[in-house]
Amino acid sequence: MKKWLKWKPYIPLYLMMIPCAAYLLVNNYIPMFGIIAAFKKFRVTEGILGSPWVGWKNFEYLLSSGDLAIIVRNTLLYNATFIVVNTIIGLFLAILITEIKSPRMKKLYQSSILLPFTMSMVVISYVVFAFLSQQNGMLNHSIFKDNPVQWYSDATWWPLILVIVECWKNVGYGALIYIAGIANIDKSLYEAGAIDGAGKWKQIRHVTLPALVPSIITLFLLSVSRIGYSDFGLFYLIPQNSGTLFNVTATIDTYVYGSLMSPGGIGRSAATGLLQAVVGFVLILVVNGIVRKMSSKDAIF
Amino acid sequence: MIEKKWYQVVFNSILIIVALIMILPLVLLFISSITNENTLVANGYSFVPDKLSLGAYEYIATNYATIGRAYVISILVTVLGTTMGLFITSMMSFALSIKNLPGSRVISFFVFFTLLFNGGLMPSYVLWTSLGVVNTIWAYVLPFWLTNAFSIILVRSYFSANIPDELYESAKIDGAGFFRIFLKMAIPLGKPILVTIGLFSGLLYWNDWQNGLYFITDSQYLSIQAMLNKMNQNLQAVLSNSSYASSGAVMNLPQVSIRMAIAFVAILPILVAYPFLQKYFASGIMQGAVKG
C-alpha cells in the first residue's frame, strides 16, 4: 500500500513515456535480438526465429570471400581521411570566418558553408553526375576534353572524389562547432597578445588553437568511435552503385545493404552488421572512457 | 591599421572562393535544368549554355500527376514524422526531467543504451517489413527516424535547466497536474530546443531516400527523394507510370535536363526556407556542440 502511494502521483508521467518507449522497443531493441540471424540460414518463410542455425558459417563465408578485408579497409581509410581533412579545413574556415569584421559578410560565409549540409545525398549525386557524366559531364567537356575519363568505371579518382564530396557536404558542420568554440575564448587573451605585439598569426597559434584543443580532441574521438560506420548515401549514390568501383567505393554499410538485396545474402548481411555493431560498441565505450578522463563534461555518459 | 586591412582583404578573398565552391554546384544543377536538351547533349553540362529552354519544367507542369504525387507524399511524411517525433520525444524528455521519479534511472538507461548498440540493417529491415509498412506512407515515417536517444537527452537537459522545481512539486500534489504542466509550461518554455530538434527532424524527413529504397516497391508511393533515387537507375520506369505513357510523351521527354529539373524542385523548399532557418540550424549545431 505504501509503495503504491509513492508511485501514484507519477502515473501520468509513466503514461507519457509509453509512446516513446514503445517506439524504442520496436525500432531499436527488437532488432538487437535479430542479430541471431547472423548465425542462421535465413528463410523468408520461416522468419528469423524459425530459420535453421548454421553456427559461424556466415562469418566463414565473409572471411573466405575476401570482401571483408576490402570493406573494412575502405571504411577505416575513408573515415580516417575524412576526420583529418574535415578537422583541418573546418578549423581553417572557422578561424577565417571569426576574423572577418563585417557582420554581414560573416553571416554570408557561415550560411554558404552550411548550405550543402542541408542537401540530400540523392540531389548531390545528381550534381556530381553533372561533373562526371561520361557523355555530358562538365569535366569530360573541359579539362579532360582530349582524353575523356570513364569516371563511373575507372577507379583511379574515386578516393579523391569521395573525399571532396564528403568534405563539401559536411565541413560546414564542423566549422560551426569550432566557431562556437572560438566565440567562447576569453577576449582579454587576444588583447593581452596584441599589447605584447603578437600579430594575427601568433594570436591564432598561441591563443585560438590551444583554446580549441579540447573540442578538437573530443570531436576527433567521437568520430573515431563511429569509424566503423559510413555514410551509406555517399558510398552508394555518389558512385552510382557501380560494380566496377567496388574495390574503392564499397564500405561496410554498402556491403550490408548489397548483401541484403542479393539472393542468399541475408545471412552475410546480418553477420557483417553484427561485426560492425560489436566493434562500434567496444569503440564507443573505450572512447568515452578516454574523453571522460580528459574533460568529463564532454563525455557522452 | 594597414596590416589589419591586409588581413581582411586576404581572408575575405579566400572565403569568397570557399562560398562560391559551396554554392556553384547547386547553381549548376539549376542551370542544367533550364538548358536546352540538344545543347546539353552536344556540349555537356555548363554554367553558360548556348541555349536555354524551359522544356523540362513544361514537362513537369503538364505531367504533374507523378511528380505532384511524390511531392505531396514528401510533405505529408515530413509533417507527420516531425510532429509525431516531437510529440513522443518531448513527452519522454519531460517525464525524465522530473526529479525523484521512481524508476527514471532505469528508463534513462533504456533510452541511452540505444546509442551504444544496434541490431544492424538486416533485423530492422525484416522487422519493419513484417510489420506491414511496405508500400505505405508509414514506411517513411516510422523506421529509424522518429526519435533517437540523442534528441531525448538534449530536450530533457533543456527541461531540467529551464523548468523550476516548484512547478513539479505543485503538479505532484494533484496527480493529473503533470499533463497540464507539460502542455501549458514545458512546451512553451522548451520552444527553442523543440524548434531546433523539429527543424533537424524535418530536414531529415524531407531529404530521406533510404526508407524509400528499403520499403517502397510500388512507384505510386515514391516520395520526391525516393523518386530521384529511382530515376537515377531508370528514368522511364518511374515516369512511365504517368497516364501519358501511352500517348508517347515518355519517348520525347528531355531526359537529361528533366532529372535536374526534378532535383531542383526537390531542393526548392529548402532553398526558399534556408535564409530564414539558417540561424536555427547554426545555433542547433552549436548547442548540440561537440556531441552532435
Task: Decide if pLDDT at A227 tops 90.
Answer: yes
- Tell whether B235 is covered by a domain: no
Cell of B272: 526558399
Nearest to B124 among A31, A121, A168 (CB): A31
CA nearest A127 in B: which residue? Answer: B29
- Tell whether A245 is covered by a domain: yes
Cell of B276: 530564414
- Tell whether B284 is covered by a domain: no
Pair B87, B197 in one domain: yes
Task: Please report residues of A whose CB lies closer than 8 A to that of B282.
Answer: 110-111, 114, 176
- Tell whether A32 is covered by a domain: no
Q: Do A109 and B18 touch (CB under 8 A)?
A: yes
In tens, the pLDDT along A48-99 reads 888 899 999 999 988 888 889 999 999 999 999 999 999 999 999 999 999 9
Cα pseudo-dihedral A287, A292, A295, A299, rounded to 10: 70
Pair B1, B78 in one domain: no
Burial label for B86, CB within 10 Å (0-12, 13-18, 19+), is buried
- Tell whether B135 is covered by a domain: yes
Pair B53, B104 in one domain: no
Task: Decide if pLDDT at A111 tops 90.
Answer: yes
Domain count, chain B: 2
Q: Are B141 and B79 in contact (CB under 8 A)?
A: no
- What average pLDDT does the segment A33-52 reach? 88
In tens, the pLDDT along A285-297 reads 998 888 888 777 7
Chain B, 214 to 233: residues with Cβ < 8 Å from chain A are 225, 228-229, 232
Pair B130, B208 in one domain: yes
Q: Do A14 and B111 touch (CB under 8 A)?
A: no
- Tell whether B107 is covered by a domain: yes
CA nearest A140 in B: which residue? Answer: B44
Residue A203 corresponds to which amino acid?
A: Q
The boundaries of the domain holding residue A189 are: 61-298
Task: Decide if pLDDT at B176 tops 60.
Answer: no
Q: Do B179 and A118 touch (CB under 8 A)?
A: no
- Tell whether A173 is covered by a domain: yes
Pair B193, B97 in one domain: yes
- Tell whether A1 is covered by a domain: no
**What is the least distance, in Å, from the CA of A20 to any CA of chain B?**
5
Q: Do B147 and A274 touch (CB under 8 A)?
A: no
A105-110 contacts, C-beta under 8 A, 24 or more apart = A105/B12, A105/B15, A108/B19, A109/B15, A109/B18, A109/B19, A110/A176, A110/A179, A110/B278, A110/B282
Q: Do B260 and A218 touch (CB under 8 A)?
A: no
Task: Please report residues of B whose CB lies closer than 8 A to that of A266.
Answer: 122
CB pairs under 8 A between A and B: 291
Nearest to A114 among B98, B260, B278 (CB): B278
Better pLDDT: A205 or B135: B135
User: What integer pLDDT is reported at residue B255 of this predicted model?
Assistant: 78
Q: Are B238 and B227 in contact (CB under 8 A)?
A: yes
Nearest to A100 among B11, B107, B289 (CB): B11
- Tell whether B278 is covered by a domain: no
**What is the least distance, in Å, from the CA of A100 to any CA of chain B?**
6
Q: Do A16 and B228 touch (CB under 8 A)?
A: no
For the complex shown, is ipTM > 0.90? yes
Cell of A52: 535453421
CA nearest B85 in A: which residue? Answer: A20
- Tell whether A182 is covered by a domain: yes
Which of A93-102, A180-189, B86-95, B198-207 has the least mean pLDDT?
A: A180-189
Domain count, chain A: 1
Task: Decide if pLDDT at B247 tops 50.
Answer: no
What CATH number corresponds to the domain at position B130?
A: 1.10.3720.10
Pair B114, B214 in one domain: yes
CA nearest B144 in A: which residue? Answer: A27
Chain B interface, mutation test: which of A126, A220, A238, A252, most B Cβ atoms within 10 Å? Answer: A126
Nearest to B203 among A24, A118, A277 (CB): A118
User: Cβ of B172 under 8 Å from any chain A Cβ?
Assistant: yes
The boundaries of the domain holding residue B49 are: 1-63+242-272
- Tell whether B292 is covered by a domain: no
User: What integer pLDDT is reported at residue B241 of this predicted model?
Assistant: 54
Distance of CA A186 to the CA centre of its chain: 32
Region class of A241: left (phi > 0), else alpha (psi between -120 and 50), else beta: left
Task: Please report residues of B whose CB lies closer than 8 A to that of A7.
Answer: 102
- Tell whether A16 is covered by a domain: no
What CATH number corresponds to the domain at position A293?
A: 1.10.3720.10
In tens, the pLDDT along B53-70 reads 998 999 889 888 989 999
User: Cβ of B110 under 8 Å from any chain A Cβ?
Assistant: yes
Pair B178, B200 in one domain: yes
Task: Decide if pLDDT at A231 tops 60.
Answer: yes
Pair B140, B265 in one domain: no
Domain end, chosen from B202, B227, B252, is at: B227
